[in-house]
Copies of this chain bind each other. A is one copy, B any other.
Amino acid sequence: MAEMPRPLDALNNARGKRVIVELKNKAQYVGKLNAFDIHINVVLDDAEFREDGEVKKRLGTVFLRGDTIVSIAVE
């Protein structure tokens, strides 16, 4: 039987790609996935902050604390 995929494999596959990170407060950060850990703390490069689908702010590198995150998907 083949080894089962694990959720962090999907994040690993997304490294270096632009991802959309949706937060519990409905805001979104979009940027290149630089790093993550088992708490789902995440670092994005060339990040932008969006609210209601609109870019509100451009940031360089941003650290997002895992427990505020709902979802992560490649853009």
B contact residues around A68 at 8 Å (CB): 24, 70-71
Indicate whether A59 reaches chain B with its CB closer than 8 angstroms.
Answer: yes
Q: A29-B71, A40-B41, A70-B68 are in contact. Are A35 and B10 (CB under 8 A)?
A: yes
**How many copies of this chain sit in the oligomeric assembly?**
7
Could you tell me how many residues of chain A have their Cβ less than 8 Å away from some Cβ of chain B? Answer: 41
Residues of A within 8 A of B (CB): 4-11, 13-15, 23-26, 29, 34-37, 40-43, 47, 59-74
Contact A70 B5 (CB under 8 A): no
Question: Bound state CA distance, A67 and B60, in angstroms?
Answer: 23
Closest 7 CB pairs of A and B: A7-B41, A5-B35, A62-B73, A10-B43, A63-B72, A59-B73, A68-B70
